[in-house]
Structure 1
Amino acid sequence: MVGTVAAVLLATQGCSPATPVIAPVPSDTDHVDAYFESFNEAGRQGTQAQDEFLRSTQHPDFADQACGLSGLVMDVYPALSTVRPDPDWEPEGGGKPAGAVYVVSVSTTVRQNGAMVGEQIGVRRIAVLDGRAYGFAPCAQQN
């Protein structure tokens, strides 16, 4: 009996129309999460790699305002359950960024030469523009 059921299932499976496999479209939360995963991966490679990551992912509207980490390495862990749109946010000294801006609560650890020199809980903003996540390099004047 089991063999008959298996044979019927196999036979009918070949007769059904093919269902295309469609990859899910990443949500903006996925983009935010991937941004921080890549940020932290760059940090594991050192301060130069993390500075380069920040330069390459600086929001295009603010590309001339990127700040480096001055020899520090940051580990930033987002609480993704807190991601929410922040459409009215504007960086200090700049206008409203293009794309969808999100704010997320984060825990940040700062290291210098491998030693922890600080920890902070705060928020970061990430903009999703044309399917890519952009940040705003950490600058002293930024909220």
Structure 2
Amino acid sequence: MSKISTAILRGVSGAFIANSGVGKIGMPAEYSAGIQQMAASGIPAMAKLPSDKFGTLLGYAETGIGAALLAPFVPNKLAGAALTAFSGGLMTMYFANPENTEADGIRPSQEGTSLAKDVFMLAIGLALMAQGGNSK
């Protein structure tokens, strides 16, 4: 992969995730609990975190992942691994809830489309991991 294509993959996904994370920091407790409930459907251990702080914790994690993707000194493998883990968690939420997919269990239903699109982040993370090296 060229340096330009790597910068595009890291820049676009990093800015998107960082922006999403910043928006969650300090969110109201009721929204935080709702996001936690969704997350726990795919990763049950998430239910053990304090529900009123879950959104803020998630926001800091997303902001950190976005920053790692945007920082050129963070190796592609490390940034890609963080993005792969994060998007893999989102995909578990997608597949754990039957209402997210059509009867075949793969294709997204109307309700599942917003999570199904996260497969692109998974692909970017895997590509960065496969590429290895630094983004410089």
TM-score bracket relative to the smaller structure: 0.3 to 0.5
Could you state the TM-score of these two structures normalised by the residue count of structure 1?
Answer: 0.32
Bigger Cα Rg: 1
Higher helix share: 2
Could you state the TM-score of these two structures normalised by the residue count of structure 2?
Answer: 0.33
Structure number with greater CO (CA < 8 Å, separation at least 6) is 2
Higher strand share: 1
